[in-house]
Amino acid sequence: MPPTPPSVRAAPESAAPLAAKGVAALVVLTGVTSALHVGKMPAAIPFLQQSLGLTLLQAGFLLSVVQLAGMLLGLAVGLMADRLGARRVMLIGLVVLAVGSVAGALAPSVGVLLGSRVVEGAGFLLAVLPAPALLRQQVQDPAVQARALGWWGAYMPLGTALALLLGVPLMGALGWRGTWMLLAGLSLLAAAALARGLPERRGAGPSALAQQPLWPRLARTVSAPGPWLVALAFFMYSGQWMAVVGFLPAIYSQAGYTGAVVGGLSALAAGINMTGNIGAGRALARQVRPGMLLAAGYLAMAVGATLAFAAVGHPLLQYLGVLLFSALGGLIPGTLFGMAVALAPDEGTVSTTVGWMQQFSSLGQFIGPPLVAWVAVQMGGWQSTWWVTGACSLAGLLLAWRLQDAWRQRRPAAH
């Protein structure tokens, strides 16, 4: 990561960190607001079944289609963010999210609602993908930057947990259409806060590297080992996390637990992931080796998933396995966001590198749950599906070793 500029070091000790923390908080809250749009759908499914006659297959498409933009456009959005500027693209994304949510609130049919989710997926990608690059630009102190990126890694579990906890009572009071409208308003408020809190600085446009033509920047990104390593590592994480946490409500519903209990257990399992994210940022700020953090995360996920799926008949032990899986697994995204910023080929490819990582993350979330479900069907239950997550964790351990080596080579020439 870049050394602290003399202008920052010369400032009063309390002024720069306070400003940096405020910037980080604003960006993270923007991410949480965006994540609410992704997390609102699981809680809305019963309401949509009553209102629009939603089928189970349609519900599956509504849950997964939001990942479509990330799967197909992650790299393209990253290139655009590096060219146009991270702040500008995030503002566009928040407005697109609001438009998609309003369109969904007015949807007369499932088909129109599905189309609105595609729009929301595009807005979500635009709103969150450039955030690490924005944090790198705005937060110059390396220690504060590492902690900020750790907090950024927590935006998705925090938003998902809030949506799971508050979604049902909110929709019970406002209806699902009213909730969609409320979230659209929150996105516009977030855009206004970001625009006012981070005014565009004169002369702070894209760097000379970012203004280069698209293909050279793309070639620099995909020809460097760092972007591939962080992308594959995120793929090994995201697929298994989404499979375990995503199927948790179904597993506990089959075990006879009530809707309120299932919602609370699922929200805790998703939300506890943020502890690992935040812990990773703090550890990186204290110069803990990122390879060790990644290895600890993948090992915890392997043990936790084995308990969650194999300890049939012991629900408490299974749930403790899920908490271990999610909490320490959070070390992985918290570490990888920091590594993606540092292992990008240069200043002009930070968002492009994060976009490449986002593309593989979305691919993992798209592939992981169906693969685990297919194994469960073939084996007649969840008890043998641990081998899928175990294989992902083993591959993740190998990638952690390679990433540590890449990090060590990159650090002396940090950009």
The percentage of the chain sitting over the pLDDT mark of 70, rounded to a whole number, equals 88
The percentage of the chain sitting over the pLDDT mark of 90, rounded to a whole number, equals 32
Name the pLDDT band for 212 (thresholds 50, 70, 90): low
- Return the amino acid letter for 140: Q
Residue that is written with structure tokens 């446009």 in the block: 205
DSSP H helix total and E strand total for the chain: 18, 0
For residue 209, give the H/E element and its range: none
Q: Residues 6 or more apart from 266 whose CB is under 8 A from it?
A: 164, 245, 248, 249, 252
Domains of the chain: 6-413 (1.20.1250.20)
pLDDT at residue 1 greater than cutoff 50: no
3-state DSSP assignment of residue 208 = coil
pLDDT on residue 73: 81
Q: For the chain, report the end-to-end CA distance as a whole number of angstroms.
A: 6
41-73 tens-digit pLDDT = 877 888 888 888 887 667 767 777 787 888 888
- Chain-centre distance for alpha carbon 383: 28
pLDDT on residue 228: 94
Q: Please state, rounded to an integer, the average pLDDT across all residues of the chain.
A: 83
Nearest to 260 by CA among 169, 345, 394: 169
70-129 tens-digit pLDDT = 888 888 888 888 788 889 999 999 999 999 999 999 999 989 998 999 999 999 999 998
pLDDT on residue 235: 94
